[in-house]
């Protein structure tokens, strides 16, 4: 479960930003999580709940996750389609000359402070 490491990475980054801005409490961290990223949202929430109790800056801090849908582009026909439903094979032309254009993101979108 690498979600615990991901949680620590987020918190470490937010702590640096908070220190630079004289913030003493973080109320919410909002993330953008791609549909086909390697992070499992439910595990991330579990790790977050455990970790916020260990760091005073994050006491009762909420984690909000926005899912970015995975979209693939087909170079053969020029169309886009949902990656999860169809994988690497284009449902329009059957081509395999495709690549992911979104859905693998993992970004801190917003940090809400007191």
Binding site per annotation, positions for Zn(2+): 74, 77, 90, 93
CA distance 56 to 36: 32
- Who's near 107: CB < 8 A, 6+ residues apart? 31, 32
Please give the annotated binding residues, written as ranges.
Answer: 2, 74, 77, 90, 93
Please give the annotated binding residues for Ni(2+), written as ranges.
Answer: 2
> How far apart, in Å, are the Cα atoms of 93 and each of 69, 71, 79, 102?
21, 16, 9, 20
CA distance 47 to 1: 10
Token readout for 75 is 């170079």
């Amino acid at each position: 479960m690498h979600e615990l490491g991901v949680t620590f990475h987020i918190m470490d980054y937010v702590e640096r930003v908070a220190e630079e801005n004289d913030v003493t409490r973080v109320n919410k961290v909002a993330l953008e999580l791609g549909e086909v990223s390697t992070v499992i949202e439910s595990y991330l929430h579990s790790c977050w709940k455990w970790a916020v109790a260990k760091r005073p800056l994050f006491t009762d801090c909420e984690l909000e996750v926005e899912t970015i849908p995975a979209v693939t582009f087909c170079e053969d026909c020029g169309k886009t389609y949902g990656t999860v439903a169809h994988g690497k094979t284009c449902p329009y032309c059957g081509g395999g000359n495709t690549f992911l254009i979104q859905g693998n993101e993992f970004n801190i979108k917003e940090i809400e402070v007191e």
